[in-house]
Structure 1
Amino acid sequence: MSDTTQPPYSVLFVDDDEMSRNHFARAIREDYCVHVASSADEAIAMLSEYGSEIAVLVTDFRMPGRDGDDLLRQVAQEYPQIVRILVTAYADKDMLLQTVNTGDLFRILEKPLRTETVQEVLKLAIARYTERETRQQRLLAMDETLAFLAHELNTPLAAISLFARSVESDIAEQYDPERQKEIGHAATAMLNNAQYCLTLISSFWATVHKSGGQQSGSGSGLREVKATRLIATLLDTYPFAGSQRDWIRVDVQGDFIVRAMPNCVSLVLSSLLSNALRALGGSTAPSLHLEVVGGSEPEIRVRDNGPGIAPEIKERLLLDPVTTHAGTGGHGMGMIFCNRIMQSFGGCLRIESALGAGTTVTMGFPSVKSRVHAAHDKASPDSQVVWK
């Protein structure tokens, strides 16, 4: 298949009239995944199950029980990322003003609904949703990346600090007094710089969390993200050059939820996409497949038909700073960084390649079984978290 198995965005339509629900679903189902509900309570129940997928809520105002205004208020509070649209057949100005002010409405549609109008408004609503999601994902990506970098830098900096102390205290009897003095000054400078970096990381990390990081770590900030959604968002925002987007196919063999650091996973995916596109630059018939494989051991594969990688370089890519793009500014740290991100939450990165036969990079995610064990270990009162 050339794209994901279902439209990347979902719309929830709420109306107590069954005929209205059927007409709405028929009008947009070719472009969107449609969920329908007959009441506010049914809509909330549906959001509890599909809230991470739904981009737009369209609700009638007049319904038995809780009306659309009440639903909009609850959704605005519990699902702020969803773009909200009100449908009404009533021209009550005071009611409309109150609803706009309390429900943070994107648009108001008047009955009877016209297909062309609905499609145009939904297109604008999806653009608003994508803009919000991109901004939020960037903030969360910064939060997750800082956490990863802080973890990765703490250990080597602490080791440098300890080594500096050791050098500072063990230089006696090895060199003449002048040389001892020089080494002592170097060790002191090393120690001071390491301690400065450790302090900087600690204070910066604390500042990030005080200013907004806690929000992203709260229940409302964490939303389940499916692998196909990550890919769809990447393809929507990546700065493709020329016809590069036409080289790409998305093959889905079962979707799955990216549960650990989805924004860092997006960084890895973006880096792998960039490498593949660069490798395909000189190909006569470039082809790039992004494959999503669900199941007990989920994977995302980036498969290209480029020139491939020499065995001696492939064996070192995830371990040493080697690069196949030195002539264009490559420094070889990207794959190491990507590998460290995947390993940090129990995943892995695998590379299969041969000269003249293309390259496949596989992002392996923790299996369901390993996640269950991890959750059990975390819940155990005797367990301890150790940063190595």
Structure 2
Amino acid sequence: MSGQVQPSPLILFVDDDEMSRTLFARATRGLYHVRVAQHADEAMAILDRHAAETAIIVTDFRMPGRNGDDLLREIAEKYPHIVRILVTAYADKDLLLQMVNTGNVFRIIEKPLRMEAIGEVLSLAIAHFNERESRHQRLLAMDETLGFLAHELNTPLAAIALFARGIGEDRPDESEPERRARFADAATSMLDNAQYCLSLIESFWSSVKDGGQRPSSPAATHEVRATRLVAGLIETYPFVSSQRDWIAVDVQGDFIVSAMPNCVALVLSSLLSNALRALNGSNAPSLRIEVTTLPAPAIRVCDNGPGIAPDIKARLAHDVVTTHAGSGGHGMGMIFCNRIMQSCGGSLRIESALGVGTTVTMDFGNSRKRAYAIDSHAPLEAHSSRGTLS
């Protein structure tokens, strides 16, 4: 496992004084990714492009044109997730109290700027941002998963009700073998649909319990980077023994997951669990998670486990089949994962060879509405085109 890539909070600093901008950049070098602006209009232009990844704005009060108070009011309305800090050399107590009381300002830094004060306030602001966004992300996850469950449970439950009504109204006797066969098929369909519903509820309940016990990856909006999903999963997954050491992450390109990112995270968690289970007992277990944008946005989970027999692989994403029945597998996991990816406008592909290993690819398609590459000219953090995540 070589160098690690960590998400770096983006901070926007606004001040018409070049010396102040230089001092702020020096005080935060190596800790945060910083953008600077000379006035309020330039700051808003930057946020129009980078609001999703911006955690904090620090602005001077006195500037040509619009002052810091006006800028922070607009940001509070348009981008409420951003933590707002005011820099001022003026002791206008009434104004400052009003800004703090209305919630437009998290903290106030006095001029002249001191490096110690900057570091302390930014540390508090980042903690505040992460805590608030973690709560927000858990609520999004709950809402998103509930919506998916409601949609997915509707059809199988309706089928169960239809078949049950038919069985209740018309029961064949021993002299009607064809009708008895149709009833047997209906009973099998009812069982399959019921198992699917139960598996969805079980997966949802597990995610709710985990969400209450482990921190969620902070996200400024409903759009989340693929690398952040992977990093968040590895950070919070309950690895056993040396399992964490089996994993390497290969980042060949990053993209935004704009459709149901929390449900996508559930798919990723399920694929990781399957791969780890397949590797149990292997002499040299290896699991690689790839994030790529070529030829299209995708996340791949690759293991060097025993592989899957062709007849089972062909049915995994569509039929109730499991290779782990002895350890409690019910065969619904891959169906669940496949349905989520289809709902996201993508797909799930399984490639496997006995004795070689298995690769499961989460394809997000070419549509920029579903997933799109991050602008390489404006990286969220400096890193090479190929790296690893912790």
* Residues in 2 aligned to 1:235 and 1:106: alpha-carbon distance in whole angstroms: 31
Q: Is the 8 A contact 2:12 2:56 kept in 1?
A: yes
1:49 partner amino acid = R
* Residues in 2 aligned to 1:85 and 1:235: alpha-carbon distance in whole angstroms: 32
With the length of structure 1 as denominator, give the TM-score of the two structures.
0.73
What's the CA shift for 1:11?
1.5
Equivalence for 1:32: 32
Distance change (3 Å), C-alpha of 1:155 and 1:37: same
Equivalence for 1:156: 156
1:250 partner amino acid = V
| Structure 2 alignment gaps of length 5 or more | 177-182, 202-219, 372-390
* Residues in 2 aligned to 1:241 and 1:108: alpha-carbon distance in whole angstroms: 45
Equivalence for 2:273: 274
Deviations 1:62-109 (A, max 9, x none): 222222222222222222222222223334333322221223433333
**1:59 and 2:49 correspond:** no
Distance change (3 Å), C-alpha of 1:291 and 1:168: same
* Residues in 2 aligned to 1:110 and 1:330: alpha-carbon distance in whole angstroms: 60
Moved more, 161-170 or 77-86: 161-170
**1:342 and 2:341 correspond:** yes
Equivalence for 1:293: 292
**1:17 and 2:17 correspond:** yes
Equivalence for 1:211: none
Equivalence for 2:388: none
Distance change (3 Å), C-alpha of 1:39 and 1:345: same
Deviations 1:3-35 (A, max 9, x none): 44x744311111112232233234434333222
Distance change (3 Å), C-alpha of 1:292 and 1:86: same
Residue aligned with 1:290, SS: strand
Residue aligned with 1:368, SS: coil
**What are the within-5 Å matches in structure 2 for residues 54-203 of structure 1?**
54-171=54-171
Q: Percent identity?
A: 70
2:89 partner amino acid = A
Higher relative contact order, structure no. (Cα contacts within 8 Å, ≥ 6 residues apart): 2
Deviations 1:287-330 (A, max 9, x none): 43332112562101122344544545444432334444445443
Bigger helix fraction:
1
Distance change (3 Å), C-alpha of 1:132 and 1:285: farther
Equivalence for 2:356: 357
1:34 partner amino acid = V
| Structure 1 alignment gaps of length 5 or more | 177-182, 202-220, 373-388
Deviations 1:140-169 (A, max 9, x none): 222222222222221122223333443444
1:81 partner amino acid = H
Residue aligned with 1:330, SS: coil
Equivalence for 1:368: 367
Equivalence for 2:211: none
* Residues in 1 aligned to 2:324 and 2:8: alpha-carbon distance in whole angstroms: 34
Q: Is the 8 A contact 1:247 1:287 kept in 2?
A: yes
1:233 partner amino acid = G
Residue aligned with 1:51, SS: helix
Equivalence for 1:378: none
What's the CA shift for 1:264?
1.0
* Residues in 1 aligned to 2:351 and 2:157: alpha-carbon distance in whole angstroms: 34
2:95 partner amino acid = M
* Residues in 1 aligned to 2:284 and 2:31: alpha-carbon distance in whole angstroms: 30
Equivalence for 2:205: none
* Residues in 1 aligned to 2:310 and 2:48: alpha-carbon distance in whole angstroms: 49
Distance change (3 Å), C-alpha of 1:159 and 1:105: same
Q: Is the 8 A contact 1:40 1:66 kept in 2?
A: yes
